[in-house]
Chain A
Amino acid sequence: MYRYDEFDRDFVSARVAEFADQVDRRLAGQITEDQFRPLRLMNGVYLQLHAYMLRVAIPYGTLNARQMRMLAHIARTYDKGYGHFTTRQNIQYNWPALSDMPAILADLASVEMHAIQTSGNCIRNVTADHFAGAAADEVADPRPYAEILRQWSSVHPEFSYLPRKFKIAVTGADRDRAAIQVHDIGLHLKKDGAGRLGFAVYVGGGQGRTPIIAKKIRDFLPEEHLLSYTTAIMRVYNLHGRRDNKYKARIKILVHETGTDEFARQVEAEWSSLKDGQLTLPAADIRAIEAYFAPPPLVARPEGDEALMLARLDSRSFSEWLDQNVVTHRNPDYAAVTISLKGIGDAPGDATDEQMDGVADLAERYAFDEIRVSHEQNLILPHVARADLEAVYDELVRIGLATANANLITDIIACPGLDYCALANARSIPVAQEISKRFAALDRQRDIGELKLKISGCINACGHHHVGHIGILGVEKKGAELYQITLGGSGDENTSIGEIIGRGFGPEEITDAIETIVETYLALRNAPTERFIDAYRRLGPQPFKEALYVGEVRAA
């Protein structure tokens, strides 16, 4: 993985010292909250309902054991013994004191981490496929490009005061596991006919109040033009993006209002003055960054097949976990493991300090010191020898992280919602917990098959409800929580935005409503292999409406 050079190190420690001084001055009353607020936000410090919240960047979701142990240490020392992994592949701490922030950031800096640009109207953490470098279907590892974008965008003077926040996602496979079409810029790394690497460029996707699917404005951008072309997009946005209305300030609105063709024309025009200039990436530089992401030494471990066959016979629960949470690696002796942070009845994405330490140990012992955070709020060990899977599983059982539910209905994405978030309208976590308990039986979950259920506590959509096969949005109506259901959303290469199915449900009704939807699907799917999303696309909303609003639909 990427290692800081001297420049990175100096930059991050200078930033820690600067923020420490700002915190001191704030606590001494030398600067006002109005002056301090933008400064703390630039360093990832928010104020939530109960306390401050610190959001720590995990670049493209990649970290090593030492870093994971530091995240555990911070949870234990300055927080309440846990952290929350987010849909942005970051981690949030819910209880740190402002007075401890300098010490926390110094601890983070000691393991090459920080909280810079995790807030504010700048280019945020660049996200990537969590199976990058391991996926069997990958053209190339997208992370070197994410790292190049990270370096280029860090405190970029021209792009630190954009009309609104800006999110870039990169995938290196046709199967999109990074939801690139709901990002401000989505990059699909691929090869052209001549075998050169480059990107299909998508712009103007996003969720929130106005969900829009990104538009492809270039089918193939050769890799050396990554920064010049991205700069051209940013310039058009920075110039024309709306600053008069927060709700219309994202690039998706600009692309929508300008029209895709005209927007693309403006980008090309801007690019013509940048192309082949100093932003062109020399091949040697790309390859140098790539070297940081060189695959680990995957020695042959052919004994895996037999070991797994025997272990399967031995333990049904291991076998189920293997089927559900382990995916093919590009090396047949290895596998990529999803560590579910969605234990039945648990808060999605939360992990205790001990669990983080346990995952760090596993990564060191069995996974070449690599861990990923997925945007689905799980952890990944990307490179595990198949022969070691049983040992990994046993240890996961010991630390309570062996739930075999990846991609099933209890693998729920949920934002913190009203239990923590100052912007929330309704709670998300208890809804996730109740649904998880209702569908706890693994046989039933597996019978239902792949089902992405996503919950947000307000229209900001941090819980990605718009792209859930089943999405749940919490709203406040007459002082009470109400949950609106959307169906048919999807955040992959066939991205779609879910449609609101009808009137909302109260907290005591929502789990029943979800069960009704699931039962309707089970009754109507044409084969067990027809996934929920495929059945919904075939059937449309009507049968689900009829089941949910018995007697109401025809009358309405």
Chain B
Amino acid sequence: MKVLTANRLIDGEAVWYSADGWRETLEGAEIAADKDGEARLEAIGAAAFAADQVLDVAIIDVALIDGAIVPTRLRERIRAAGPTNRNDLGKQARPHAVQAA
């Protein structure tokens, strides 16, 4: 299972692609369950990069745990939550977000 992520051009904010466009949290990201889905996400990422909306585009591995999308790599969990030493920073500082580690 994979999702599409990037950083937004104007402010560098980590974003994930969802059915209604790029969002600032991983929650609700569109999941690709097969090769076709991945190819579709990749194309969307490439187009957004070409349109100067985002940079550092990547397709990352995730799992569904209790209905929540959890990235496989710690790096991506930290991107999705914020620095592990400061839970007042990053996405985890917002309501309803989880910590990375």
- A residues near B (Cβ < 8 Å) are 26-27, 29, 32-33, 47-52, 80, 95-99, 347, 418-420, 422, 424, 427, 429-430, 433, 479-481
Contacts and interface: CB of A to CB of B under 8 A. Distances in A.
A50 B14 contact: yes
Given A50-B82, A427-B74, 9 more contacts: A27-B52, A49-B14, A49-B79, A51-B13, A52-B12, A98-B10, A419-B85, A422-B56, A427-B101
A479 B73 contact: yes
B9 to A, nearest CB: 7
A424 B84 CA distance: 14
B63 interface: no
A429 B11 contact: no
A50 B52 contact: no
Contacts of A48: 12
Given A97-B12, A419-B78, A430 B85 contact: yes
B7 A47 contact: yes
Q: What are the 8 closest A-B residue pairs judged by CB atoms, nearest first?
A: A97-B11, A51-B12, A52-B12, A419-B83, A29-B52, A429-B85, A49-B79, A33-B55
Contacts of A49: 14, 75, 78-79
Which applies to chain B's interface (DSSP): helix, strand, loop or mixed?
loop
Interface in B48-77: 49, 51-52, 55-56, 72-75
A52 B83 contact: no
A98 B78 contact: no
A95 B83 CA distance: 12
B89 interface: yes
A480 B101 CA distance: 12
Contact of B74 (A29, A95, A347, A418): A418
A480 B74 CA distance: 8
Given A430-B84, A479-B72, A26 B14 contact: no
B75 A98 contact: no
A429 B49 contact: no
Nearest to A99: B10
A41 B72 CA distance: 30
9 contacts: A50-B89, A51-B7, A51-B11, A51-B13, A98-B10, A420-B83, A427-B78, A427-B84, A430-B84
Interface string B2-21: 00000101111110000000
Nearest to A32: B52
A497 to B, nearest CB: 28
B12 A47 contact: yes
Given A26-B52, A47-B7, A52-B12, A433 B85 contact: yes
Given A51-B12, A52-B12, A347 B85 contact: yes
A26 B9 contact: yes
Contacts of B51: 29
A30 to B, nearest CB: 9
B58 to A, nearest CB: 11
A98 B12 contact: yes
A97 B10 contact: yes
A50 B84 CA distance: 12
Contacts of B83: 50, 419-420, 429
B45 interface: no
A429 B100 CA distance: 14
Which of A29, A50, A481 counts the most chain B CB atoms within 10 A? A50
Contacts of B11: 51-52, 97-99
Contacts of A420: 83
